Amino acid sequence: MKGRVEIRIAGEGGQGVILAGIILAEAAAVWQGLNATQSQSYGPESRGGASRAEVIIDEEEIDYPRVRQPHVLLALSQEALDKYLPDVRDGGVVIVDQDRVVPPACPRRRLIEAPITRLAREKLGRAIVANMVALGVLARVSGVVTLEALRSAVAHRAPSGTEEVNLRALELGYHAPVREVSD
């Protein structure tokens, strides 16, 4: 990884967006020796149930901790995709859950579809760990963190008793069939 990478994770309340952001940031910083910030902003729109987490990863110190133009957008709901797709920079990566989202045209970005929630439900019987499946996809597709660093962060940060299913979800995502959609 070279230079500053801005990542936005967005979805609905209850999808574990914030925990995904925390684990991604800890993986990068605590387990991979980089600097990271992780943040949420809440305003009037927060009352609608949308949820958004931002992570910045850099080899250097991070002066400005807010995402302006994401290199990577992970969108777990249609609303999140529609709202944040325009911010993604040219050449950026957009990852969506193919069963929850109908992707619009996405010129100048890489659009990656994966069966995120379906894998969590069918392979693990727990749709709630779709957030960890999504992080596995993100690591594989974007290369911003290693699977090993994510595993360490999950083992230390996942709620007690849920470590094992979350680790399995990560692996599932990392090895998931993904489809790159071109315009």
Question: In degrees rounded to 5, what are phi and psi of residue 39?
Answer: -150, 160
Which residues sit opposite 112 in a β-bridge?
95, 180
Site string for its own copies, 125-164 (x = CB under 8 A): -------------------------------x--x-----
Q: Any contact of residue 15 with its own copies (CB under 8 A)?
A: no
Among 61, 102, 125, 177, binds its own copies (CB under 8 A): 61
Q: Any contact of residue 69 with its own copies (CB under 8 A)?
A: no
Distance CA 113, CA 119 (A): 13
Give the nearer residue to its own copies in terms of CB position, either 78 or 152.
152
Distance CA 182, CA 111 (A): 7
C-beta neighbour count of 46 within 10 angstroms? 13
Q: Any contact of residue 68 with its own copies (CB under 8 A)?
A: no
**Residue 154 host element (H or E):** helix 147-157
Among 42, 91, 105, 125, binds its own copies (CB under 8 A): 42
Q: Of 40-48, 94-102, 105-113, 172-180, which segment contacts its own copies by CB under 8 A?
A: 40-48
